[in-house]
Structure 1
Amino acid sequence: MVGVLAVGWANLDQRYYVEQFPPQGSRTGVRAYRETIGGPAAVAAQAAARLGAQAHLVSRVGKDAAGARLAAMLREEGVRTHLQLGPATPVSAVLVTPEGERYIFPYRPSLPEEARGRPPQAAGGSGCSSARRALGQGGSGGGPGGANPRDPGGF
């Protein structure tokens, strides 16, 4: 089985399929609503899992209801998650017009100070190490047993 490791952004998309756009007045009806997996890395992992790959995602989510929902959605899709928990999960409100045009309003909470500029492993999580082991690549860094001997920092 092919193994895929996606590292990066994951968020919860809240899609509102509006009846008309632009809105007329202060309220516009919504004909449908869906919560979906969002963020480039999470969507790539979802697609890989749907195609039959052993998909892993290393990302950050919040210790909140949105993070729990996003993690559950990823698991339901067959994505193995390696998540560092932070204070809040990124969420996007996505307005979809009757013509299919999307307007995205992202909420991107800041990273905890200790995590800025560091991969999840260095910030206290073990996402990269556990993903590497699950993909059969051993080790927690580069060099002997690592994923890429030319990359001493690992994933």
Structure 2
Amino acid sequence: MSSARVCVIGNAAMDMTLRVASLPKPGETSIALGITLDFGGKGANQAVIAARAGAQVTLLAAVGRDADGARIVAMLGEEGIDTRHVDHLDCPTDLSIVTVDAAGENTIVTRNEAASGYAPDAALLDAVSAPGDWIVLQGNLARTVTATWLRAARRGGRHTLLNPGPVQFEVNALLPDVDVLVVNSVEAEMLSGDADARRAALALHAAGATEVLVTLGAGGVVWCGAHGGIEQMPASEVIAVDTVGAGDALCGMLAAGLAHGHRLRNILPRAMAVAAYVVGRHGTQASFPDRARMLELARFI
């Protein structure tokens, strides 16, 4: 069994993806060129990638007490993810409607009854992780849940990775409890007030995050290290057909690599390679590399 342990606390959902020639404007009707139903949810996505990258993964999430919830839990089990702390709530399983255009850009509308009603007790920390493990959170759960888990994790000797999208609450006060912050350019500007990715990364580092990554899509990634150094790394050249799940793939790979004991700067190119693989394919988890392909992309496995 792998000694690289990751605990993801987030959401799990089904994704319905509609492919269109162009994203509809308000009042416009677009004809779907194709439709797929896939597994999704930022928490589940990051957990699946981390597991395929060789980490021992536990997921804390909530699904509905319905067929979709059962399907999600079965899939996670097949991935080797510990699902003992996935709760079944008396509500529908969360669903995202994703529209993707010919350039791979997307819009997402989400029903999040399960995630919004989910509040796992941070007293579970010792049951789901050990000192030195990585705790991964996103922005899907309530701020109080996110803040409590980040604080408990850091005080309990764990490492923390926060990917706060979708940004639904004030994040900056949480940053002193964050080892690695991963945001896209829009989120970076929202949190820092600065549209320049480099300055935004420095501001978020100054606000307390030990290391900061700002993802720029085709522009690559801006990294601010623990000592305030800034570097921009170019993205791999790829024809983007669907960007859904790429950020989650990056985060999952980072978590697995960090749990294997590697430095963030050293594993970032491999995580970016996985994200590039994902944007070149349709679907959410359907676009993720399988374990065999992951062996080629992640040299630390």
TM-score scaled by structure 1? 0.66
SS at match of 2:93: coil
Q: Which runs of 5+ in 2 are unaligned?
A: 131-151, 157-301
1:132 CA drift (Å): 4.2
Question: Is it true that 1:103 corresponds to 2:100 in the alignment?
Answer: no
1:20 CA drift (Å): 4.5
SS at match of 1:55: strand
SS at match of 1:14: strand
Q: Output the CA distance in 2 between the equivalents of 1:103 and 1:149.
A: 34
Query: Sequence identity, in percent?
Result: 33
Q: Which residue of 1 aligns with 2:75?
A: 73
Number of matched pairs: 130
Shift in alpha-carbon separation, 1:100–1:12, aligned structure 2, 3 A: same
1:38-79 per-residue CA deviation (whole Å, 9 max, x = no partner) reads 22x222211110101111101111101121121122223222
1:5-40 per-residue CA deviation (whole Å, 9 max, x = no partner) reads 11122222222223444389756133241412222x
Q: Which residue of 2 aligns with 1:44?
A: 46
Q: How does 1:75-154 map to 2 (within 5 A)?
A: 75-81=77-83, 82-87=85-90, 88-109=92-113, 118-119=119-120, 131-132=128-129, 150-151=155-156
1:4 CA drift (Å): 0.8
Q: Output the CA distance in 2 between the equivalents of 1:131 and 1:69.
A: 23
| Contact preservation (8 Å) 2:18, 2:32 | no
Q: Which residue of 1 aligns with 2:160?
A: none
| Contact preservation (8 Å) 1:45, 1:57 | yes
More strand by share: 1
Shift in alpha-carbon separation, 1:22–1:150, aligned structure 2, 3 A: closer
Tell me: higher relative CO, structure 1 or 2? Use CA pairs within 8 A at least 6 residues apart.
Answer: 1
TM-score scaled by structure 2? 0.37
Shift in alpha-carbon separation, 1:103–1:148, aligned structure 2, 3 A: closer
Question: Is it true that 1:61 corresponds to 2:63 in the alignment?
Answer: yes
Matched letter for residue 33 of structure 1: T
Greater displacement, 59-68 / 17-26: 17-26
Q: Which runs of 5+ in 1 are unaligned?
A: 134-146
1:80 CA drift (Å): 1.7
Query: Cα RMSD over matched residues?
Result: 3.2
SS at match of 2:113: coil
Shift in alpha-carbon separation, 1:45–1:149, aligned structure 2, 3 A: closer
